[in-house]
Amino acid sequence: MIYAGGLPIGEGPSALFRGVAMPGSIKRRLLFWAFVGPLVFAFFVVVVIPFLWGIYYSFTEWNGIVRSQVEWVGLQNYIDLFDDEQFIYSFWFTVRFAVVSVILINGIGFALALMVTQPLRSSNALRTVFFMPNLIGGLILGFVWQFIFIQVFSALADVLNLDFLRGWLSTPETGFWGLVILMTWQMAGYTMVIYIAALQSIPGELLEAAEIDGSTLWSKTRHIIIPLVAPAFTINMFLMLSNAFKLYDQNLSLTNGGPFNSTQMLAMNIYNTAFQFDKMGYAQAKAVIFFMVVATVSIIQVRMNKRREVEY
């Protein structure tokens, strides 16, 4: 920071408004709020108030119709959660999905990054193709892949005589892998871009030196590249993990939770509790738990990130 240790805090601006009739501190405060106020206002109305209000809601029962009764039920919603098989199932399904997809997305993304940073003639074209799905909305991609899994896979099964390509999305297993494939396809390009940035920041001399030493590509990768892209790895992990936990659009358009709610993830479980069973308070209790899980996962991630940064 270039300016660290400059003027004492707050003195700068007040000194600058000397000579203005209004007392400096009031004017300064007004200016502060003029700049910060609009964003803070929107933030409070849209995020903070609903968040706090939601905690209150989670102790009530309400059917979602305006002007109808909101009933205080205390902790009942939270107690019911522990008996809710579908909720518990969705929770573990989401965890399972998050772990598998995060590993695959990062593994493939990293491999792609290694590949396209080699002097390939097709390098730019490949980057373009790999990254493209990332820009398109999850809802739309889910519909496209529904077509692939159901219609195209069964056509391929006929041509290639491969039975495992039949009946996709009709069993919990194929539903799970369908979601994983969709997300890997969509997000691998994203992690690739970030890994490319990390790879390009590795000083060339380091690699040349290794080459002169006669290191193989593998040992180069292991001893130089992997340690240096570790921060990028943490970033990708964090982004993909929280992304996987919050996933809704792709879930909705690809499987809509089917078959028999076996691919219903947490976000969808909350949505359906609210809008198909008309239990707003109960859904909100789930949402509060959902927040706690996502926040915990994220905080653990950030902690690990910090520790790493110290190590390197």
Helix axes 85-116, 123-131, angle to 10 degrees: 170
Among 88, 155, 209, 304, binds another protein (CB under 8 A): 155
Other beta carbons within 10 Å of 113: 26
Rule CB under 8 A: which of 35-54 touch another protein?
A: 35-36, 38-40, 42-43, 45-51, 53-54
Please give the full DSSP string across 265-277, using - where no structure is assigned.
-HHHHHHHHHHTS
Rank residues 32 and 307 by Cβ distance to another protein and give the closer one: 32
**Side chain identity at residue 110, one-letter code:** F
The distance from CA 185 to its chain's CA centroid, rounded to whole angstroms, is 15
Site string for another protein, 88-127 (x = CB under 8 A): ------------------------x--xx-xxxxxx-xxx
Which tokens is 270 given? 């909350």
Among 102, 180, 229, 274, binds another protein (CB under 8 A): 274
Among 12, 23, 107, 227, binds another protein (CB under 8 A): 12
User: CA 289, CA 29: separation in Å to the nearest integer?
Assistant: 38
Shortest Cβ 239–another protein spacing (Å) = 6
Among 22, 88, 132, 206, binds another protein (CB under 8 A): 132
Q: Interface with another protein by CB under 8 A: which range of 94-102, 202-210, 218-226, 289-297? A: 289-297
Which tokens is 62 given? 């309400």
Rule CB under 8 A: which of 177-196 touch another protein?
A: 185, 189-190, 193-194
Among 23, 88, 107, 147, binds another protein (CB under 8 A): 147
Q: Binding of another protein at residue 135 (CB under 8 A)?
A: yes
Q: What is the CA radius of gyration of the chain?
A: 26
Nearest Cα residue to 72 out of 84, 83, 88, 56: 56
